[in-house]
């Protein structure tokens, strides 16, 4: 099952036979005081840096969140989407809990976007899914509702069933455009939480075969050496069915772990991408060290 995301000139496929889709998380003001101040002042220049860093790191899709208190989030989203699409051809995730902001982002975006996100709450499903369908987008769905964020994987699966019934059965969204977030919780809160996420991924994969994504940084929140945790968690999640993640595309440790998992899971035929990436990194290192690459002898063919 392939989820197709598009910009005006590029297409990205998400699926269990495709390279793991790295969705860059950085264009988000949460926890970034200076970035928030810049956005409130109408200064979007930091976005240019964030785009460049994530593209260089290996992002395949970019998440865009403009959730700044005391600011016109819809206006910021419109401006951010236009700016980002002028800088890169990567597809975008329109990320907001506010309907008007999602509408502003989707109306501005050129291509097929991914909406982040909708829960299994009846009111949210009724409000957001028609918008997703009207714009031909895909959507990330979270299996929590008005009553709880379920602890048990089996209860999360029940809510996935409800989401599929409403999104696909009632609103007619294609199954491939429904991505499930299996709820990644901080390992620092309880060391059993990651096992529950992995069990949820496995259950969803077995029953529905849907593509899945999650906020990978949530797992290591509050812990030291977060990159090592992320680099261990993501290959484990890929093995049981995770096909994408909103993650720190600037972290070589985490990105390298994902690429190695692609190779080991036969999603990188003949290791072509792994070898090409290694050669590019070696060339960059030689250039940064100022090393001279031996030239061919004069007259050599």
Residue 288, pLDDT score: 80
Q: Please give the mean pLDDT across all residues of the chain.
A: 94
Closest alpha carbon to 172 in 180, 184, 164: 164
Q: What is the pTM of this model?
A: 0.92
According to DSSP, residue 290 is labeled T
**∠ CA 204-206-210 to the nearest 5 degrees?**
50
> How far apart are the C-alpha atoms of 205 and 51, rounded to whole Å?
32
Residue 179, pLDDT score: 98
CATH superfamily of the domain spanning 3-289:
Dihydropteroate synthase-like (3.20.20.20)
Find the mean pLDDT for residues 170-190: 97
Residue 299, pLDDT score: 46
pLDDT at 54 over 80: yes
pLDDT at 45 over 70: yes
- Lowest-pLDDT choice from 218-222, 261-265, 268-272, 295-299: 295-299
Find the mean pLDDT for residues 125-133: 97
Find the mean pLDDT for residues 28-53: 97
Of the pLDDT bands very low, low, confident and very high (cuts 50, 70, 90), residue 207 is: very high
Hey, what are 78's tokens? 């419109």
Hey, what are 194's tokens? 């990651």
Hey, what are 169's tokens? 């059965």
Residue 289, pLDDT score: 80
pLDDT at 298 over 60: no
Closest alpha carbon to 131 in 143, 117, 144, 110: 117
Task: Name the residue ranges covered by the structural domains of the chain.
Answer: 3-289
Instruction: Report which of residues 1 and 129 the model is more confident about.
Output: 129
Q: What residues pair up with 63 in beta bridges, in sequence order? A: 93
- Kindly list the strands in the beta sheet with 244-247, ordered across the sheet, starting from the edge strand earlier in the chain: 178-180, 138-142, 114-119, 92-95, 61-65, 21-27, 244-247
Of the pLDDT bands very low, low, confident and very high (cuts 50, 70, 90), residue 300 is: very low
pLDDT at 301 over 50: no
Residue 291, pLDDT score: 54
Residue 206, pLDDT score: 98
Residue 287, pLDDT score: 86
Hey, what are 228's tokens? 């090592």
Q: What is the pLDDT of residues 238-267, one digit of tens each?
A: 999 999 999 999 999 999 999 999 999 999
Closest alpha carbon to 18 in 253, 180, 132, 176: 176
Residue 297, pLDDT score: 45
């Amino acid at each position: 099952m392939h989820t197709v995301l598009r910009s005006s000139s590029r297409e990205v496929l998400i699926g269990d036979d495709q390279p793991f889709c790295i969705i860059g998380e950085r264009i988000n003001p949460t926890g970034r005081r200076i970035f928030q101040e810049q956005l409130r002042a109408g200064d979007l220049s930091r976005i240019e840096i964030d785009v460049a860093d994530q593209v260089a790191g290996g992002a395949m899709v970019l998440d865009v969140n403009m959730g700044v208190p005391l600011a016109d989030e819809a206006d910021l989203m419109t401006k951010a989407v236009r700016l980002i699409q002028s800088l890169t051809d990567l597809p975008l995730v329109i990320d907001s809990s506010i309907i008007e902001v999602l509408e502003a982002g989707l109306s501005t975006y050129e291509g097929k976007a991914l909406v982040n996100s909708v829960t299994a709450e009846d009111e949210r499903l009724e409000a957001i899914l028609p918008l997703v369908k009207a714009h031909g987008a895909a959507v990330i769905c979270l299996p929590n509702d008005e009553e709880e964020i379920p602890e048990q994987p089996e209860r999360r699966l029940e809510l996935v069933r409800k989401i599929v019934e409403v999104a696909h059965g009632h609103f007619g969204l294609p199954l491939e455009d429904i991505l499930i977030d299996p709820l990644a919780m901080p390992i620092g809160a309880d060391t059993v939480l990651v096992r529950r996420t992995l069990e949820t991924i496995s259950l969803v994969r077995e029953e529905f075969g849907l593509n899945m994504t999650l906020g990978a940084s949530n797992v290591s929140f509050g812990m030291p050496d977060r990159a090592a945790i992320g680099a261990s968690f993501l290959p484990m999640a890929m093995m049981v069915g995770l096909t994408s993640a909103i993650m720190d595309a600037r972290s070589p440790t985490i990105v390298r772990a994902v690429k190695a998992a692609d190779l080991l899971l036969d999603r990188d035929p003949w290791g072509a991408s792994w070898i090409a990436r290694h050669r590019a990194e070696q060339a960059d290192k030689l250039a940064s060290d100022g090393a001279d690459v031996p030239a061919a002898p004069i007259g050599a063919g």
